Chains A and B, each alone.
Chain A
């Protein structure tokens, strides 16, 4: 990529606005980790068309991650003191050379695929969240965040439709598929609360008009989720169940699942530094 004229097109020039880096990494990490999880289905999908569908969703998510990582790298490189060993930060170094405690993704996206029901429910919860998130971020005071979000929102609309229809198909399907959805709700509902608990950098981002107020989208998320669950004949009161102890993915406190993902995803770069393909 050509070297970009520093600061010229960056709306945030105040070095004190340190929320940008973690905020962008959080958005990128969410997309990368769920994209990676979904890609684990490639070649293993229940039927060919759905294998292709989930692989396409993985591709969209990894594309979103790349956009946010590229922008984060640009921001980080604007502050020379942030650059370690005079090595320029790149989208690849951010994805492949940070450790689990540096990752700022939500706990939901790192959870294992389980069966198709669990994968579907995870996608539904997250796509619904992303649909409201990107709707808001399209109006971000940061032009590049707005641009990435505008693009991503169109993709998420398809992910949400696809996963909603699958929640209904499975929930209102056979006894077996219904029970599998119930199990998925048991396993995943405790991770939904975190989506709406702002980390410090999200609060700062919202204060500067770059991010959004998550508490405003929570009721909208819940309402839409319950409407789909109702059509899927799934119980909604299950979701009130509470949380994890001490964990907070947005600030790097993850479940053990993330370590396994990174071990696989980062192996090549760790074993053969700077290798390209």
Chain B
């Protein structure tokens, strides 16, 4: 009999292939784990419509569950409610920072559509300076923006609000 905590423990070990410091649980894409007798359903939601990592994440979840004896599992993808960076766990945000990626700020000013809008100061994950600037709203993966620190001059990724 599957126990929910056991499944979540397994999912904690499955990482985002593009930001391997984060597990799928940290990322907040696992919406629910449903257990009904021998049947197991894991419900996930994609981060971005075209995120190429999603296919690999699904494969890895299936593989992991099968390897641990959960042959009777179902993986369901739901689009609504749409994923938001609010669902990244506190632990996930700390992991991002330790990995050199600025985590999404709690006040999500970057979602403001105003043109050439002054961005909220994003803290440099390396020297902790707030004196940074946006290089591009689009970074190396769909979920990141590119920033540069004006003090230590290091370019860095910002996990942008969504």
Chain A interfacial positions (CB closer than 8 Å to B):
2, 35, 49-50, 52-53, 55-57, 59-64, 66-67, 143-144, 146-148, 150-152, 154-155, 157-158, 160-162, 164-165, 168, 228, 231
Chain A to chain B contacts (Cβ below 8 Å), 22 pairs? A2-B74, A49-B146, A52-B136, A52-B138, A52-B146, A56-B139, A56-B142, A59-B50, A59-B52, A62-B50, A63-B49, A64-B49, A146-B80, A147-B80, A147-B82, A148-B49, A148-B79, A150-B82, A151-B49, A151-B79, A151-B83, A154-B82
A152 to B80, CA, bound (A): 11
Total cross-chain contacts (CB, 8 A): 85
> Contacts A64-B49, A164-B115, A168-B115 given: A158-B137 contact, CB under 8 Å?
yes
> Contacts A67-B79, A157-B113, A168-B115 given: A60-B136 contact, CB under 8 Å?
no
Cβ–Cβ < 8 Å partners of B81 in chain A? 150
Cβ–Cβ < 8 Å partners of A60 in chain B? 48-50, 142
Q: In the assembled complex, how far is the CB of residue B148 from the closest CB belonging to chain A, in whole angstroms? A: 11
Q: Return the CB mask of B35-54 against A: 1 if under 8 Å, else 0.
A: 00000000000101111100
Cβ–Cβ < 8 Å partners of B136 in chain A? 49-50, 52-53
A164 to B83, CA, bound (A): 25
Are A150 and B79 in touch, CB under 8 angstroms? yes
Cβ–Cβ < 8 Å partners of B19 in chain A? none
Complex: chain A residue closest to B80, CB-CB: A147
Chain B interfacial positions (CB closer than 8 Å to A):
46, 48-52, 74-75, 78-84, 111, 113, 115-116, 135-140, 142, 146, 162
In-complex Cβ contact of B82 among A52, A53, A151, A231 (8 A)? A151
Are B113 and A160 in touch, CB under 8 angstroms? yes
- List the 4 shortest-distance A-B pairs measured between CB atoms, nearest first: A63-B50, A63-B49, A147-B80, A53-B138
Are B138 and A56 in touch, CB under 8 angstroms? yes
Are B142 and A165 in touch, CB under 8 angstroms? no
A66 to B52, CA, bound (A): 12
A64 to B113, CA, bound (A): 21
Are A155 and B135 in touch, CB under 8 angstroms? no
Are A147 and B50 in touch, CB under 8 angstroms? no
Cβ–Cβ < 8 Å partners of A52 in chain B? 136, 138-140, 146
Cβ–Cβ < 8 Å partners of B140 in chain A? 52
Q: In the assembled complex, how far is the CB of residue B32 from the closest CB belonging to chain A, in whole angstroms? A: 16
Are A53 and B49 in touch, CB under 8 angstroms? no
Cβ–Cβ < 8 Å partners of B74 in chain A? 2
Are B50 and A66 in touch, CB under 8 angstroms? yes
Q: In the assembled complex, how far is the CB of residue B3 from the closest CB belonging to chain A, in whole angstroms? A: 23
Q: In the assembled complex, how far is the CB of residue A40 from the closest CB belonging to chain B, in whole angstroms? A: 16
A231 to B115, CA, bound (A): 10
Complex: chain B residue closest to A164, CB-CB: B115
A168 to B113, CA, bound (A): 15
A73 to B10, CA, bound (A): 33
Q: In the assembled complex, how far is the CB of residue A194 from the closest CB belonging to chain B, in whole angstroms? A: 24
In-complex Cβ contact of B50 among A61, A154, A231 (8 A)? A61
A165 to B111, CA, bound (A): 15
In-complex Cβ contact of A155 among B48, B113, B115 (8 A)? B48
A132 to B56, CA, bound (A): 33
Q: In the assembled complex, how far is the CB of residue B113 from the closest CB belonging to chain A, in whole angstroms? A: 6
Are A67 and B49 in touch, CB under 8 angstroms? yes
Cβ–Cβ < 8 Å partners of A165 in chain B? 115-116
Q: In the assembled complex, how far is the CB of residue A140 from the closest CB belonging to chain B, in whole angstroms? A: 11
Cβ–Cβ < 8 Å partners of B78 in chain A? 147
A32 to B79, CA, bound (A): 19
Q: In the assembled complex, how far is the CB of residue B45 from the closest CB belonging to chain A, in whole angstroms? A: 9
Q: In the assembled complex, how far is the CB of residue B162 from the closest CB belonging to chain A, in whole angstroms? A: 6
Are B51 and A63 in touch, CB under 8 angstroms? yes
Taking A35-B50, A66-B50, A162-B137 as given, write out 13 further A-B residue pairs in contact, using a Cβ cutoff of 8 Å, ordered by the A residue number: A2-B75, A50-B136, A52-B139, A53-B137, A57-B138, A59-B51, A59-B52, A63-B48, A143-B80, A151-B80, A155-B49, A161-B113, A164-B115
